Chain A
Amino acid sequence: DAGVIQSPRHEVTEMGQEVTLRCKPISGHNSLFWYRQTMMRGLELLIYFNNNVPIDDSGMPEDRFSAKMPNASFSTLKIQPSEPRDSAVYFCASGTSGRSEQYFGPGTRLTVT
């Protein structure tokens, strides 16, 4: 069975550019989570969706960040405009509502110069 799929795996962009990260959750899962991992702050939850609806976006750092989930098999995390401090590894995870287990994708390493 395919796990969570993320693209791209690596992204290098210049400050001020728009960045879009993509995620395909595990088929049948109805919860989707976006995380950011840095050395300083570890793994932080940015936003999560249940049945394609954003439930909690309190972890989104600021208005430059936005996330969408137009259908059960696709989600995007957009940063516009990007800044060097956004450099991090961004993970998508999926699960089933009512269960605690979350399954992570391989991540997108973002570098903003």
Chain B
Amino acid sequence: GQQLNQSPQSMFIQEGEDVSMNCTSSSIFNTWLWYKQDPGEGPVLLIALYKAGELTSNGRLTAQFGITRKDSFLNISASIPSDVGIYFCAGVGTASKLTFGTGTRLQVTL
């Protein structure tokens, strides 16, 4: 099945640094979702974006819905050790079907 392209694939950062990741698609989506998955657990919804150009924050997380509707961005400010995990974007198509990105693995060093 189709997966959206996420970059970077993985990243090591130091505690306190800001993080940026993005997700691109060849198709247009009307909604973008961002999830975080911890080892051995299911994805947890972080942020939902509903309109092109929309910028939404959830604590230290900020996400944007690209104006072309083919991309989305997630930023994490002042990273902490519990930010470790895999971050997935998901584009929502017809009938609420999600197409997931390939994931960005975040690892934080103290």
- Enumerate chain A interface residues (CB-CB to B < 8 A): 4, 31, 33, 41-45, 48, 55-56, 59, 91, 93, 95, 97, 99-107, 109
Contact = CB atoms under 8 A, between A and B. Distances in A.
B45 A43 contact: no
Size range of the interface on B? Answer: 20 to 34
Contacts of B35: 104
The 8 closest A-B pairs by CB, nearest first: A104-B42, A100-B31, A100-B92, A43-B100, A44-B1, A104-B43, A42-B3, A106-B42
A102 B45 contact: yes
A43 B42 CA distance: 11
B110 interface: no
Contacts of A59: 1
30 contacts: A33-B98, A42-B101, A42-B103, A45-B97, A45-B98, A48-B95, A48-B96, A48-B97, A55-B95, A56-B95, A59-B1, A91-B42, A99-B96, A100-B33, A100-B48, A100-B92, A100-B96, A101-B33, A101-B45, A101-B48, A102-B33, A102-B45, A102-B98, A103-B45, A104-B42, A104-B45, A105-B42, A106-B40, A107-B40, A107-B41
Residue picked from B42, B92, B102, most chain A C-beta under 10 Å: B42
Given A41-B3, A91-B43, A99-B96, 6 more contacts: A31-B96, A48-B97, A91-B42, A95-B96, A101-B48, A102-B96
A contact face: mostly helix, strand, loop, or mixed? strand
A102 B43 CA distance: 10
